[in-house]
A and B are shown apart, each in its own frame.
Chain A
Amino acid sequence: MILNVFTDIHNLLLGLMSAKVAHITELVLIGVAYLGIFAVLGLFLVWLERRVAGFFQLRLGPNRVGPSGLFQTIADALKLVTKELTGTVKADKQLYKIAPYFVITTALMTMALIPFSHEIQAFDINIGIFFLISVSSIGVLGIFLAGWSSNNKYSLIGGMRTGIQMISYELSVGMAVVTMVVLAGTLQISEIVELQKGGWFIFTGHIPAIIAFMIFMIAGTAESNRVPFDLVEAESELGAGFHTEYSGMRFAYYFLAEFVNMFIIASIAVVLFFGGWLSPFGITDAIPFAGLFWFSVKVIAVIFIFMWFRWTFPRLRIDQLLTLEWKYLLPINMVNIVLMALLVWLGLTF
């Protein structure tokens, strides 16, 4: 079920060893590759965030280590790796240590479903979107546990806020995705992308698709705990929120996972609304791996919007956050699904 990745490597391995061993070797290889992608992606996005922040804030951002400061985040990561892992005496040791792995494992599992191009997707199952949403919901546990086990009141408030926020906004993300699934008629990610060859869903889905996109962007920002929904960390109120007591690599896990989550949200947006790896008007569809380029361009464009949010908006208050979700986004979303269903039923889509 795994592979439309690199059939050549698959054949090569089959030639070298028995089918079972080859299969396991492939799994390990893919796992290692994805860990690599995870780290590089995280570090790249941190660098991008800092450059974009500099751009918005009349300053330069990292620009000394390597070309345009590209290696700055690698240097930072090295520093974090070598740092001592400190913790508080009163922390719930087991939970405290295990919490970061919830976040990072979830992010990794979700990444397996991301279609980087027609050729590169590790895990293309027929319930892809459903799997993606259900797995990504586990991540909240890691943050919640971190807040609880640190035995710090600020962390606890941060953790509680996470519970409220992520569970609420999960609904909106899910509903917005369901709207698009109604249009697509399939849950398999590669099929959803292929269906957009005639035109991206944001254009073919009329107004409901645009509404769904806007809701997805708002709820996605909340899901990845970014401004204006960064109540979980809210540095002016809670210091650092749930990861106050974390140091070294454990902190880095949260930090990287946050950025990778943002990438995942952006990828889902690109897959559902902007035709995934497809090039505009199919200009480069014949070239192998060209999809990777288009996918990256689109994802970075969406990520740039997230960063734009972050460096422009103030933060909402917790009750305003809940009002927005339960009184506005959710009802609009429900009406929107019905609208989309009507459109599809009446055949009004392009």
Chain B
Amino acid sequence: MEEYLTSKLKTQEYFLNMGPQHPATHGVLRLLLKLDGEIVQNIEMDLGYIHRSIEKMCERDTYKQIIHLTDRLDYLSSHMNNEAVCLLVENALNIEITDRIKVIRTMMSELSRIASHVLWWGVMGMDTGALTSFMYGFREREMINDIFEETCGARLTMNYNVIGGVRYDLQENFVKRVKDFIVHFKKKLPEYDKLLSNNIIFQKRLEGIGYISKEDAIAYGLNGPTARGSGVSCDVRKIHPYSAYDRVDFEEILFTEGDSYARYRVRIREMWESLSILEQLVDKIPDGEHRVKTKAVIKLPVGDYLQRVESARGDFGVYVKSDGQKFPYRLKFRSPGFANLTALNKMTKGLKIADLVAILSTIDVVVPDIDR
């Protein structure tokens, strides 16, 4: 019998094409899986399905025009991306911005971060099979989007930052709405824990799965919440404080387990921290100009410039090489998602397809951010 089995019935590895149209790949990411039954042996990533050559487009645009293109990278943290370009130009030209601008930018960034994490939480539930979390997440996201809409007219790709400030001053309602949101969200966050975090099935699905050590996390260049789940301290808000982050008191969330559940908890705790930042700032928005005067044509002096911000996904960087013209000579975006995605193979090897989906979700990829 055994002879028969070995001679006639053979098992073999097979390839499975996951994406670019697949519900779990969060957009147009294509994964070529090498599978043994349900066990993932190897993952090859095929990128470029939404490549729009944004970096090249930036070379023919003025610095003011570049800002709106960054909306289209990581569309869930569009405000932070805008801010990076603005900060870069302001720092290069030594434009002094008022405290009001700094506080507005910080508050909008934190609102964006919460909106992004809330969406991630909903999708995280969906990827593990709990469909209800998506709707719960969208309830809170809707409130934030309404605040954005009232402030700058857009809900997703906001383009609210301009060089030397923000496009419009805050509406009268802003403070009240943010306060309402803080009260509401403080009640709802524990509900998130009840629905997903404390669910035994959910915990078993994530605990010990997708492990990556601190050393590996550094070696792969992981950043943002994904790296902080492995205990790598990498919060740009702490290391290189920008805008109003030096005047607020918040904690950098670090977990040392390095598994999917640690990455999950980092993001949940980050929402609490963002709430606390908002609370500290909402009553102390200083008076002043919302936009300082800048030259009509902005030219950066010859040289290399780098600006990093902490986007919802991690360390977002803009690198500009200027030859003194009004267009950048070369421009490079350092997107957090790309580095984080590279570790997927390392995390997933030897686990099941279902784990792959859950791990991909805890990395929190946004594909336009990776392809640019």
Contacts and interface: CB of A to CB of B under 8 A. Distances in A.
**A and B form one complex:** yes
A317 B205 contact: yes
B127 interface: yes
A318 B38 contact: yes
Given A157-B38, A313-B201, 16 more contacts: A58-B135, A58-B139, A227-B131, A234-B354, A236-B127, A236-B128, A237-B357, A311-B132, A314-B201, A314-B202, A315-B201, A315-B205, A317-B205, A317-B352, A317-B354, A318-B352
B258 to A, nearest CB: 19
In this complex, which of A234, A311, A313, A316 has the most chain B Cβ atoms within 10 angstroms of its Cβ?
Answer: A313
Contacts of B205: 314-317, 320
A315 B195 contact: no
A17 B134 CA distance: 61
A57 B129 contact: no
Interface residues of B, number: 30
Task: Report whether over half of chain A's contact residues are helix, strand or loop; otherwise say mixed.
Answer: loop
A319 B352 contact: yes
Interface string A221-239: 0000001101100111111
B199 interface: yes
A228 B129 CA distance: 7
A345 interface: no
A314 B196 contact: yes
Nearest to A233: B129
A58 to B, nearest CB: 5
Interface in B299-350: none
A315 B125 CA distance: 9
Interface string B177-204: 0000000000000000001100101101
Contact of A312 (B14, B23, B130): B130
Interface of B: 14, 16, 22-24, 38, 125-132, 134-136, 139, 195-196, 199, 201-202, 204-205, 352-355, 357
Contacts of A316: 201, 204-205
Closest 8 pairs between A and B when the two form their complex, measured CB to CB: A315-B129, A57-B135, A314-B128, A314-B130, A236-B24, A317-B354, A314-B129, A314-B202
A157 B131 CA distance: 22
A61 B199 CA distance: 26
Contacts of B127: 236
23 contacts: A56-B132, A57-B131, A57-B134, A58-B135, A59-B135, A154-B16, A227-B131, A234-B129, A234-B354, A236-B24, A237-B354, A238-B353, A239-B22, A311-B131, A313-B129, A313-B201, A314-B199, A314-B201, A316-B201, A317-B204, A318-B354, A320-B201, A320-B204
B355 to A, nearest CB: 7
A242 B139 CA distance: 33
B14 A153 contact: yes
Interface in A307-349: 311-320
Contacts of A230: 129
B199 A237 contact: no
A21 B41 CA distance: 64
Contacts of A231: 354
A258 to B, nearest CB: 16
Task: Report whether over half of chain B's contact residues are helix, strand or loop; otherwise say mixed.
Answer: helix
Contacts of B201: 228, 313-316, 320
Contacts of B352: 317-319
Contacts of A320: 201, 204-205
Contact of A157 (B126, B204, B353): B353
A317 B352 CA distance: 8
A239 B139 contact: no
Interface in A190-237: 227-228, 230-231, 234-237
A57 B357 CA distance: 23
A15 B56 CA distance: 89
Nearest to B204: A320
B51 to A, nearest CB: 25
Nearest to A320: B204
A236 B355 contact: no
A329 B129 CA distance: 22
Nearest to B352: A317
Contacts of B14: 153
B128 A315 contact: yes
Contacts of B195: 312
Nearest to A315: B129
Interface in A234-289: 234-239
B129 A236 contact: yes
Nearest to A59: B135
A314 B135 contact: no
Nearest to B201: A314
Contacts of B129: 227-228, 230, 234, 236, 313-315
B16 A235 contact: no
Contacts of A227: 129-131
Nearest to B126: A236
A57 B23 CA distance: 20
Contacts of B199: 313-314
Interface string A47-73: 000000100111100000000000000
Nearest to B25: A236
Contact of B354 (A53, A313, A315): A315
B32 to A, nearest CB: 12
A154 B16 CA distance: 8
Given A57-B131, A58-B136, A316-B201, A153 B24 contact: no
A311 B361 CA distance: 20
A34 B93 CA distance: 80
Contacts of B131: 53, 57, 227, 311
Contacts of A154: 16
Nearest to B135: A57
Nearest to A229: B129
In this complex, which of B16, B132, B199, B355 has the most chain A Cβ atoms within 10 angstroms of its Cβ?
Answer: B132
A244 B125 CA distance: 22
B259 to A, nearest CB: 14
A320 B352 CA distance: 11
Contacts of B357: 236-237
A53 B134 CA distance: 12
Contacts of B353: 157, 237-238
B202 A235 contact: no
